[in-house]
Structure 1
Amino acid sequence: MRVNRFVSELAAFSGEAIFNPYRDRCDVYDRADAPAIRRANLRHMLSAAIEGGASTLWVARDLGYRGGRRTGLALTDEAHLEDARLMMGGARFRRATRGPAMAERTATVMWETLLRIKEPVMLWNVFPFHPHEADEPMSNRSHTRRERDRAQPFLYDLLDLITPQKVIAVGRDAAAAMEGFGVPVEPVRHPSYGGQTEFICQVETLYGLSPLAQAAPPARSHALL
């Protein structure tokens, strides 16, 4: 019931130049029932994180138009829905869009690393919606301070739902936004703009993973549900 209420409250959020994947439908790419599919994806992710005892929460800045805007899942594009299912113990995630599956560069780096951890990890954004430039829905912009303040209660509720032992903040913006929540925060470099190698090394250190050059490549599957 708490998960359903959380998702319903997310779906009620609206704002100018903001796409809410849990209530809004893209006329170009989305299926007719896309918002409902994305709400179900998030419910499955949350339930799997709670039932699987996910002890770590990864938090980035906001949803991107190639990733979470389409899937309803933070840091997850359509090319990695199957990987998300594997990490979260078989949770069922579906595509909400028509046409070819879209991949996002940041999500690709994230999931190559997440699959090496071999434990459930809850993924989230400080601003859990897709902010875009006015009249340019397929663009990304950083959310404003006012928008973050409006969405902050969702982060408090999520922390209460998941009760993580540690938060990994991906990027400086996420790290700054996570100050004052009373949860240990480990900042890591965002993998974009030349930060991929540093990001991977930092995550390897946090999780005690062998350096990538010594680790066997993870089995990959991109079958989509």
Structure 2
Amino acid sequence: MFIIEGYNMITEFVEKIAQFNNFENVENQYSNNFKYNIITRNNLIQYMKIMLKMKPATILIGEAPGYNGCRWSGVPFTAEKNILIEYRKGQLFGITNGFKIRDIAKPQSEASATIVWEHLRKIDSYPLMWNAFPFHPHKKNNTESNRKPSNEELHTGKLILSEILKMYNINNIIALGNTAQETLAKIGITCNKIRHPANGGKNEFISGLNTELGILPSNAST
């Protein structure tokens, strides 16, 4: 009964966040105004349902979706190329599991997403992943860009994040990078941080995540 009720909550949650269209220079990738919203909504719902069954104890939070990753996949820290790969012994992602992308022959990749998912697969440990602001903020007249979310946007993000934390009953929060930690601090969330994998941060990201997840060195060689 709990899982069924949880699934209903997830569908309602995604439908609710799809209604946010009141920000300038922001793409809500789940909104009806976004061309590929059927794909992004589907993927987020499927991901959240799978994670609900997994009962993660930790949530990894970034700043906001980038234009090459979650913007197209609908899943935080995830690019289309990751969607095509089956993780957790074939239970997470994969077209056969109901996930979708725009063009199977031309999946979009994203460097940080590749590093994150390669390591999660190696250690077979999967924290829930989210962003302080769950929509794609971009520079004026350029959706192929990223920018920091405004304080007003972060306020909305906080309300949404609070629902996520309640839904999954997670208390262990980890910020992905300095910017994410600073962003979370603005909305009153104090947490540990690990290095963002971008710009040469792969090894520090791996080491930091292993420490936070309690992964022993013998199980986490790089």
TM-score, normalised with respect to structure 1: 0.82
Is structure 2 residue 37 aligned with structure 1 residue 60?
no
Residue type at the aligned position of 1:36:
I
Do 1:70 and 1:97's aligned partners in 2 also have CA atoms closer than 8 Å? no
Give the Cα separation in 2 of the matches to 1:211 and 1:104: 28
**Residue deviations 1:151-207, cap 9 Å, x none?**
221000000111124122101222233349898832101111232221111112223
1:201-212 matched pairs, under 5 angstroms: 201-207=207-213, 208-210=215-217
Q: Which runs of 4+ in 1 moved over 4 A?
A: 179-184
Unaligned runs of 5+ in 1: 27-33, 218-225
Q: What's the counterpart of residue 25 of structure 1?
A: 34
Alignment deviations for residues 136-160 of structure 1 (CA, whole Å, 9 cap, x no partner): 1111111111211122210000001
- Residue 38 of structure 2 corresponds to 36
Q: Distance in 2 between matches of 1:118 and 1:98?
A: 25
Q: Does 1:7 align with 2:9?
A: no
- In the TM superposition, what whole-angstrom CA distance separates every residue of 1:100-145 from its partner, at most 9, and x where no partner exists? 1111111111112211231332111101011111111111111111
Where relative contact order (Cα < 8 A, 6+ residues apart) is larger, the structure is 1
Query: 1:209-224 to 2 correspondence within 5 Å?
Result: 209-210=216-217, 215=221
Q: Which amino acid aligns with 2:28?
A: N
Give me the TM-score of the superposition, normalised by structure 2: 0.83
Given the superposition, is the C-alpha separation of residues 184 and 69 from structure 1 closer, same or farther in structure 2, using an over 3 Å criterion? same
Provide the rounded CA distance (Å) in 1 between the counterparts of 2:89 and 2:170. Answer: 17
State which drifts further: 168-177 or 126-135. Answer: 168-177
Give unmatched runs, 5+ long, in structure 2: 1-7
Count of residue pairs brought into register by the alignment: 208
RMSD of aligned residue pairs (Cα, Å): 2.5
Query: Equivalences for 1:1-225 in 2 at 5 Å?
Result: 1-14=8-21, 15-23=23-31, 24-26=33-35, 34-83=36-85, 85-86=87-88, 89-90=91-92, 92=97, 93-96=99-102, 100-179=106-185, 185-207=191-213, 208-210=215-217, 215=221
- Identify, as 1 or 2, the structure richer in helix: 2
| Cα distance in 2 for residues equivalent to 1:182 and 1:152 | 9
> Identity percentage over the alignment?
27
Deviation by residue 1:47-99 (Cα, 9 ceiling, x = unmatched): 11111111111110100110000010100001111446537834532113576
